[in-house]
């Protein structure tokens, strides 16, 4: 039989499974959504290739007419569908792994990770050695590997094209909740303090990024916001206030209140970017502050838990995990960045890191 490209195999695999389970063929949009592709025309091209190679038959002007060629279906099933990914028998803890995030995540067992902290190379805002990614597929794999109650935090922003935002952040949030299975626990704002950078004359300066925090399951397995508390402006003083309006419209009378010295942090998290990190860290084109993953790990990762960063970059998340006595796994498709993260960890800690 003619060989198939990886994408043609994926199209056939999904079509084969869909027909066997539903009794009829999937629509073009169902195939497109399952594979995380944007173009309907691309799906048509893959189906044409499958038909030309003799794997399927189609009838023109019929939306759901795809027939699997009976005499070759068992062969194709053996070649394509029965090809399980071998998962790690033992988690590769405290390791930086060189490889594609989706393919490497497939090797990690179900329900084995406590927390994911990452920032994907989104919207081509920074060049990433020519590599691209499928955020939809990433979300599904992250959901699978997280434990029940596990959390995933992603630092992301949108680029601007022709005076309009791409909405990648919002689309990804919806996709991970609707298709991967997550709940959106909260969306925090990472407010950046650093260089002015206001060189645009027809736009505002962008001084924030989003940190959507996703939850797998009913409630977080671990949550400790004590390390995240910040000083109260009037801490230790007694002020008159508290005249809160209740949901039924009545108002509680004002009263003297002693202000606590520390208060709960809100949903805007402020970090200084200028001067943050070492010379090695800034050999990577897109870093986040060292304190950002530290705050997330302290809040959401249990003692001796496992923190995963599928786009480990310069190793900031891994270093935060080490400094907080947690285990970590880092993945990056760029060999250069894997080596950078490994070197940084070796220089800045006494960690005996392994690079796979």
Distances from the Cα of 134 to the Cα of 41, 103, 197, angstroms: 18, 11, 30
Summarize pLDDT for 122-142 with one digit per residue, the tens.
Answer: 765 444 455 567 899 999 999
* Selected residue with higher pLDDT from 282 and 70: 282
The residues pairing with 212 across neighbouring beta strands, listed in sequence order, are 187
Residue 326 has pLDDT above 90, yes or no: yes
Confidence of residue 80 (pLDDT cuts 50, 70, 90): very low
Predicted model pTM:
0.70
Distance CA 328, CA 304 (A): 10
124 contact partners, CB below 8 Å, separation of at least 6: 159
Average of per-residue pLDDT across 6-21: 82
Distance CA 135, CA 126 (A): 16
Distance CA 69, CA 73 (A): 6
Hey, what domains does the chain have and what are their CATH numbers?
6-81 (1.10.10.10), 95-228+264-355 (3.40.50.150), 230-263 (no CATH)
Locate 78 and state its tokens. Answer: 């053996």
């Amino acid at each position: 039989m003619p060989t198939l490209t990886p994408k043609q195999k994926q199209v056939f695999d999904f079509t084969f499974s869909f027909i066997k389970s539903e009794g009829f063929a999937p629509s073009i949009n169902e195939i497109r959504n399952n594979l995380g592709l944007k173009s309907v025309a691309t799906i048509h091209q893959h189906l044409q290739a499958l038909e030309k190679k003799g794997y399927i038959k189609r009838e023109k002007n019929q939306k759901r007419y795809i027939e699997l060629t009976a005499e070759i279906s068992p062969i194709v099933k053996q070649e394509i569908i029965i090809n399980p990914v071998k998962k790690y028998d033992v988690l590769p803890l405290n390791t930086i792994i060189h490889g594609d995030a989706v393919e490497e995540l497939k090797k990690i067992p179900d329900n084995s990770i406590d927390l994911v902290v990452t920032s994907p190379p989104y919207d081509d805002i920074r060049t990433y050695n020519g590599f691209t990614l499928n955020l939809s597929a990433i979300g599904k794999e992250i959901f699978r590997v997280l434990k029940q109650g596990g959390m995933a935090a992603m630092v992301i922003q949108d680029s601007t094209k022709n005076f309009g935002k791409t909405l990648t952040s919002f689309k990804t949030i919806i996709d991970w909740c609707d298709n991967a299975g997550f709940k959106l626990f909260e969306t925090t704002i990472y407010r950046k303090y650093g260089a002015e950078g206001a060189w645009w004359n027809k736009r505002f300066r962008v001084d924030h990024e989003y940190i959507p925090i996703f939850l797998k399951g009913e409630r977080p397995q671990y949550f400790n916001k004590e390390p995240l508390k910040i000083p109260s402006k009037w801490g230790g003083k007694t002020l008159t206030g508290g005249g809160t309006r209740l949901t039924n419209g009545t108002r509680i009378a004002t009263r003297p209140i002693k202000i606590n010295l520390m208060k709960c942090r809100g949903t805007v998290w402020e970090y200084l970017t200028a001067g943050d990190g070492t010379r090695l860290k800034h050999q990577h084109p897109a870093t986040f502050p060292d304190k950002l993953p530290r705050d997330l790990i302290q809040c959401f990762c249990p003692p001796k838990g496992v923190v995963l960063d599928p786009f480990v970059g310069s190793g900031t998340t891994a270093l935060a995990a080490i400094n907080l006595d947690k285990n970590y796994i880092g993945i990056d498709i760029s060999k250069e960045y894997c080596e950078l993260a490994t070197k940084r960890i070796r220089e800045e800690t006494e960690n005996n890191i392994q690079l796979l």
